[in-house]
Structure 1
Amino acid sequence: MNTLLSVFVFLVPIFLLLTKRISSSKKLPPGSLGIPIIGQSLSLLQNMRGYKNIGPISKMCLFGKPTVFLYGQAANKFAFASDSSILANSQTESVKTILDHKRVRDALMSFLKPESLKQYVGKMDLEVRLHIDEYWQCKKEVTVLPLMKTLTFNIICTLLFGIERGARRDKLVDLFQEMIAGMWSIPINLPFTRYTRSIHSSKSVRNMLKDLIGEKGKELQEMGSNPHQDLITCMLSSRNPNDVEEISEEEIVDNSMLVMTAGHDTSAVVLTFLIRLLAKILLIALRYWVAEQEEIAKGKHRGESLIWEDITKMKYTWRVAMETMRMFPPIFGGFSQAVKDIENDGYIIPKLWQIFWVTSMTQMDDGIFREPQKFDPARFENPSSIPPYCYIPFGGGPRICPGSEFAKIETLVTIHYLVTQFTWKLSSDDCFSRDPMPASTKGLPIQIAPKKQMF
C-alpha cells in the first residue's frame, strides 16, 4: 500500500505540469479531469460504464493523460479523415510500451491486397478444418470464445508468420495472451501488476519474432522464398539494401506485433457473437444465412476446399456479420494525439492532449439506424444508404484497416464449416462485458451435435 501511495505522490506533479500549460483563455470541453493520473481510467475499464450520459465532446483523464472524449458522425470523420499535421496516431502508454509500433503500410497493403488474399483461402480452409477436427468433432459441449481465440491465433501463425504447429507456436500463444491481458491496464510498472507482466511477455514475443525473422531472411537469401508465403517474408522481400530508409528488423517486429494484436481478438469476438446469435435468435433471416452456406456446401465434393469464388457467394452471411459487428462491436474506439491546438465544435483541444474517439456509439444511434436494438441484416443490402462515418468497424478514409478483407475471409470460412457441420444451443445464459474487448463471463459454452442430429 505504501508503495502505491509513493507512486501516486510521485506522478501527481507530473500530471499537473501536463495540464498547467493551458491558459484560462482557452475554452476547454466540459467535464472533469478527475483524480490526477487515474482520472476516469478505472470506470473505462469497468465495462465502459457511464459514457452514454456525457456529451459528444468532453474532457477527462485516461491512463495518466489529459484526454478529450469524442463521439458521433463528425467525431468519426475527424478521427479518420484528419491528416498527420492535425492528428498523430497514438495509444495508451501501456499499449505503446507493449507494442511500440511503427506502421510499414506499403508492405502490409501488398500482402493483404485482394489479389494476394485469393491465394490464402486454401490455407485458411485447411487451418479451420484442422481446428474443427481437434476441438469440435466428437464433442458434446464446447466453450466458444477461447476456441475462437485459439483458431484466429493459429490462422495468424500459419498465414502471417509461417510458424508451424508445435512447441514454438504453443509458447508464443501463452506469451501473447499474457501480453494482451495488460495492454489496457493503468501503466504502473510494479512486479505484481498486469502491466508489468505484459511488458515482460511482450519482450519475449519480440525475441521470438526476431529469431523467426533471422530464419526467414536466411531462407529468402539462400532459397529465394515466395515473397507472399507469409507477412514476414513479404516485409523482408520489400527491403532494398541501397535504400537508406529500408525496413529495419525492429520495424518488422513492430508491425508483426501490431497485426498479431489487431487480428486476434477482433475476429474471435465476431465469430463468438455469430455463434451466439444463431443459438439465441430464431429468425427467418438466420435461416437464410444457413441456407446460403448449405447451398455452397452442396456444390463441393467431399473434402474439397473452399475457393475464392465460394467466398464471393456468401453475401447474406456477410450482411449477418456486419449487423453483428454493428450491435456488438469488437472495437469501441481508439486514441489519437493533437499535433497542435485544434478547434472542434466550439472548443479547444490543446496540443499534445490525447483524443479518445468512440466510433461504435453511432452504430446504436436511432437517428442513424432505425430500431438499433433490433437485429436486421437487411440494413446492409445497400451499404451506400448508410451515412458516411456512421458505420466504420474497420476504420475509414485513409486510416481504414488494411486487414479488413483478411478478417472477412477468416470469418466466412470459419462460419461456413461450423454452420454446415453442426447444430448447437446455449448451455447457459452468458453475460458479456468489456475488458476492453467484449468478454464473456463463461466463454459462451454451447451443446453441439453433428448436423441433422436433433437435440
Structure 2
Amino acid sequence: MRSNTAERWIQDRVDRYGPVSKLSLLGTPTVLVTGPAANKFVFFSSALAMRQPLSVRRILGERNLLELGGADHKRIRGALAEFLKPDMLRLYVGKIDGEVRRHIDERWEGRSTVTVMPLMKRLTFDIITSLLFGLERGPVRDALAGDFERVIEGVWSVPVDLPFTAFRRSLRASAKARRLLVEITRETKAKLERGEATRSSNLIACLLSLADDRGVPLLSEEEIVDSSIVALIGGHDTSSILMAFMIRHLASDAQTLAGMVQGKYQTHQIKKHHYFKQKLFSALSMLISLRGAEHDEVAKGKGDGEALLTWEDLGKMKFTWRVAQETLRVVPPVFDNFRTAIQDVEFGGYTIPKGWQVFWTAGVTHMDAAIFPEPHKFDPSRFENNQSSSAPPCSFVAFGGGPRICVGMEFARIETLVTMHHLLRRFRWRLCCKEDTFARDPMPTPLHGLPIEIEHRTYY
C-alpha cells in the first residue's frame, strides 16, 4: 500500500491463481475474490457480514453503522438516508456554497502556492460539521478539527492502548469529540422542543426527530453520536481525496479542463513558467471548441456572480461529475474491504468456511481492459450514461454497492461540484513536484500533500 504497488500485487495473484484464491492476512484465513460477479457476491450475500478491525470498533463506537448488520443496520442507515436524500440536500446547496467561498477567500486568495490535500480535508470538515452538527465557525469547530485529526490517525492503527501510541491518542481524541457531540445532541433536542430548530436544521436534528408509530425515538443518543462520527469520517476522507486528485489530474489535462472552463490568465504570477503557459493556452484554444465550458455557462446565468449556486445549477455540471467518476475509477479512495463468512457459503465453485475473511478490492474491475477499454487512459466519456453501457453490473464500485452502498453519495456529488466550480472559475494551477506520485496509508495521498502553484483567472 505505501509503495503504491498493491494493485500490481493483487493482479499478479489473480493472474497466477485466478479470481478466487486463499491466503492468510493478519493471521486470519482469507479468500480473495475479484471481478464483477465477486463484487456482487460481496455486496449482496446474506452469508457475509461486515468485519471492522478492533481499532475501528473501539474508536468509532460499538453502535457505528459500519459494524451493525440486519435490522439495526437497516434502521440506522434508513435514518441517515432520510437526511441525505436529494429532497433534503437541495436545501443545503447554498450553505455549502457559502462555506466553499469563505474557504477559498481565506486559504487560497492572494497566495501563489498552496498545499491541496490538507486544504481539501479542512474544507470537507467545515462543510460536514456545519451541515451535520450545526457547528458554526469559531473555536469550538477549530478544537473539534484538531481532535478529529487525531481520531483519523489511529482508526486503522494497531490497537495497543499504551502511552505515546497513535491508538491511545486517537482513543482520547474520540472520547473528547464524543463528549462534544453528546452536548450538541442534547442542546439540539432542547431546541427542537422549544421550536427553535426543525427537522431540516442539521443531521442531528433530523435523527432526533425520527420516531416510530408510537412516538418512540428510532435512535438512542449513543447511536446518534456513533452515526455522526461515522458520517464525519466517511464524508471527510473520501470527498477530500476525490477533489485533491481531480485538481492533480486537471493540472496536466488541458482537454478535460477545456470542457469545464475557458478563459485568459493573469500574468503577474508564475512568470518563470511562461513556456508552460504558452503551451497550455495553445492547447486550450484548440480544444475549447470541442465541447462547451459548462462552468462558464452556469456562471453566465448567475448575473453578477454573487448569487449562490442552486440545485438546478448543479444539474448542469454533468461533465464535471463524469470527470469525478473517472477520477474515482482510476484512484478509488477505498482500495479494499473485508467481510466475514457467518456460515459456509459457495462462490465460484468453492466453499468458503464459516469464520473466514472475504477480501474484496475495487481496482481489479476498475482497471480491467475487458470492462473499461484502455483502463490507464483518463476518459470521462465512459460515464456519459452514468456508467459505461458495456460494463456489467458491479464493475464501477467506488461507492460500494448493494444494501451498504455509500449513503452519502449525493452529498459527495454536491460538495465536489460546488468546490470545483469555484476553484475552476477563479484559478489555474501547476504541480510543484516533478514526481507526480501518491501512496496509500491506507487512503491515497499525493506526494507532499500536493503542493501547487496557482494564478488567478481572468475572463473573456
TM-score by length of 2: 0.84
| 1:177-212 alpha-carbon deviations (Å, 9 max, x no partner) | 111112222333332322232222222221111111
Identify the range of structure 1 (386-395 vs 414-423) with the bigger mean alpha-carbon deviation: 386-395
State the partner residue of 1:96.
Answer: 57
Q: Are residue 349 (structure 1) and residue 352 (structure 2) matched? A: yes
SS in 1 for 2:322: helix
Q: Are residue 436 (structure 1) and residue 397 (structure 2) matched? A: no
State the partner residue of 1:113.
Answer: 85
Matched letter for residue 311 of structure 1: L
The structural deviation recorded for 1:51 is 2.2
SS in 2 for 1:448: strand
Is residue 382–residue 388 contact of structure 2 (8 Å, CA) maintained in 1? no
State the partner residue of 1:288.
Answer: 259
In the aligned structure 2, how far is the partner of 1:366 from the partner of 1:294?
35
Q: Are residue 412 (structure 1) and residue 417 (structure 2) matched? A: yes
Distance change >3 Å, CA 186–CA 48, structure 1 → 2: farther
In the aligned structure 2, how far is the partner of 1:188 from the partner of 1:61?
22
In the aligned structure 2, how far is the partner of 1:61 from the partner of 1:92?
16
Is residue 36–residue 365 contact of structure 2 (8 Å, CA) maintained in 1? yes
| 1:246-289 alpha-carbon deviations (Å, 9 max, x no partner) | 31011001111111111001000110111111112232x33112
SS in 2 for 1:182: helix
Q: Are residue 52 (structure 1) and residue 55 (structure 2) matched? A: no
Is residue 63–residue 187 contact of structure 1 (8 Å, CA) maintained in 2? no
In the aligned structure 2, how far is the partner of 1:210 from the partner of 1:253?
7
Distance change >3 Å, CA 47–CA 94, structure 1 → 2: farther
- Within the candidate set 340, 343, 346, 2:343 is matched to 340
Is residue 360–residue 391 contact of structure 1 (8 Å, CA) maintained in 2? no
In the aligned structure 2, how far is the partner of 1:51 from the partner of 1:173?
35
The structural deviation recorded for 1:63 is 4.3
Aligned pairs (5 A) from 1:140-219? 140-219=112-191
**Structure 1 unmatched ranges of 5 or more:** 1-43
- Within the candidate set 392, 395, 404, 2:400 is matched to 395
Identify the range of structure 1 (258-267 vs 98-107) with the bigger mean alpha-carbon deviation: 98-107
Is residue 395–residue 401 contact of structure 1 (8 Å, CA) maintained in 2? yes
The structural deviation recorded for 1:65 is 3.6
Matched letter for residue 187 of structure 1: P
Identify the range of structure 1 (60-69 vs 187-196) with the bigger mean alpha-carbon deviation: 60-69
The structural deviation recorded for 1:142 is 0.5
In the aligned structure 2, how far is the partner of 1:326 from the partner of 1:214?
41
State the partner residue of 2:455.
Answer: 449
RMSD: 1.9
State the partner residue of 2:379.
Answer: 376
Matched letter for residue 445 of structure 1: P
Distance change >3 Å, CA 325–CA 112, structure 1 → 2: same
| 1:42-87 alpha-carbon deviations (Å, 9 max, x no partner) | xx5664632222133333344454332222111110111223xx12
In the aligned structure 2, how far is the partner of 1:160 from the partner of 1:315?
26
Distance change >3 Å, CA 384–CA 370, structure 1 → 2: closer
The structural deviation recorded for 1:90 is 2.2
State the partner residue of 2:42.
Answer: 79
Aligned pairs (5 A) from 1:291-370? 291-302=293-304, 303-370=306-373
| 1:298-324 alpha-carbon deviations (Å, 9 max, x no partner) | 211221110011000001111111111
In the aligned structure 2, how far is the partner of 1:349 from the partner of 1:98?
30
**Structure 2 unmatched ranges of 5 or more:** 66-72, 262-292
In the aligned structure 1, how far is the partner of 2:246 from the partner of 2:3?
24
State the partner residue of 2:267.
Answer: none
TM-score by length of 1: 0.85
The structural deviation recorded for 1:241 is 9.8
SS in 1 for 2:251: helix
SS in 2 for 1:289: coil
Q: Percent identity?
A: 50
Is residue 63–residue 186 contact of structure 1 (8 Å, CA) maintained in 2? no
Distance change >3 Å, CA 216–CA 240, structure 1 → 2: farther
Matched letter for residue 384 of structure 2: E
Identify the range of structure 1 (140-149 vs 244-253) with the bigger mean alpha-carbon deviation: 244-253
State the partner residue of 2:249.
Answer: 277
Distance change >3 Å, CA 53–CA 384, structure 1 → 2: closer
SS in 1 for 2:458: coil
Identify the range of structure 1 (197-206 vs 318-327) with the bigger mean alpha-carbon deviation: 197-206
In the aligned structure 1, how far is the partner of 2:212 from the partner of 2:382?
47
Count of matched residue positions in the alignment of Structure 1 and Structure 2:
407
Matched letter for residue 438 of structure 1: P
SS in 2 for 1:436: coil
In the aligned structure 1, how far is the partner of 2:23 from the partner of 2:161?
23
The structural deviation recorded for 1:384 is 5.6
Matched letter for residue 227 of structure 2: N
| 1:69-115 alpha-carbon deviations (Å, 9 max, x no partner) | 222111110111223xx122221222122213144112111101111
In the aligned structure 2, how far is the partner of 1:220 from the partner of 1:419?
40
SS in 1 for 2:94: helix
